[in-house]
């Protein structure tokens, strides 16, 4: 027979074990994402800056993007390349911030590797479209405000290991 006070203690113990497991799983997921990053270099008038970013290659990964993420770092981000994911010719892109709790700078990148447009400090959770304005071959999302902070401008060159697009 279970004593009256032991049910509450058992429920708390189970809840804590579940939270501990969820925290461990989130930490492992974060570590796995960090291990799967690639370097992206942006060359500005002030010099080069290297980011370590995650890749979104598939339609599913690109649809998910940085939704729900609160663990973004100043030199992290996400590269959507190739864009579109089926590898067809560059086309106009439109992103939104639905379910994205952190303001982002969205850099739309032409096929020649130059920045076509920067949408700075996009509004968290907004469903308003953020268009590229012209055909693009890749999109880079950074923590909101980093472009201005580092002097990143339209026309600056962006590069990454292109062999990473195949695998």
Q: What is the pLDDT of residues 8-54, one digit of tens each?
A: 443 444 444 454 444 443 444 444 554 589 999 999 999 999 999 99
60 vs 34: which has the higher pLDDT? 60
- Domain limits, the chain: 1-35, 38-166
Q: Cα–Cα distance between 120 and 68 in angstroms, integer?
A: 19
Question: What's the first-to-final CA gap in the chain, in angstroms?
Answer: 58
Residue 1 pLDDT > 60: no
According to the model, what pLDDT value does residue 6 have? 42
According to the model, what pLDDT value does residue 85 have? 87
Q: Cα–Cα distance between 120 and 143 in angstroms, integer?
A: 9
DSSP 80: E
According to the model, what pLDDT value does residue 36 have? 85
- Mean pLDDT for 119-138 is 97
Residue ranges with strand state E in the chain: 38-44, 47-56, 78-80, 91-95, 104-109, 115-119, 130-136, 138-143, 157-159
According to the model, what pLDDT value does residue 163 have? 65
Q: What is the CATH number of domain 38-166?
A: 2.60.120.1140
According to the model, what pLDDT value does residue 78 have? 96
């Amino acid at each position: 027979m279970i004593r009256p006070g032991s049910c509450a203690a058992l429920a708390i113990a189970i809840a804590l074990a579940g939270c501990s497991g969820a925290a461990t799983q989130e930490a492992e997921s974060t570590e796995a994402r960090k291990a799967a990053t690639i370097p992206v270099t942006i060359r500005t008038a002030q010099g080069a800056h290297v980011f370590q970013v995650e890749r979104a290659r598939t339609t599913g990964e690109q649809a998910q993007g940085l939704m729900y993420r609160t663990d973004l770092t100043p030199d992290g981000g996400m590269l959507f390349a190739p864009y579109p994911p089926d590898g067809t010719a560059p086309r106009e892109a439109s992103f939104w911030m639905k379910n994205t709790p952190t303001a982002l700078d969205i850099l739309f990148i032409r096929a020649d590797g130059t920045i076509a447009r920067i949408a700075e400090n996009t509004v968290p959770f907004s469903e308003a479209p953020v268009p590229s304005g012209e055909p693009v071959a890749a999109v880079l999302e950074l923590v909101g405000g980093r472009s201005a902070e580092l002097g990143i401008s339209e026309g600056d060159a962006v590069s990454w290991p292109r062999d990473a697009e195949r695998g």
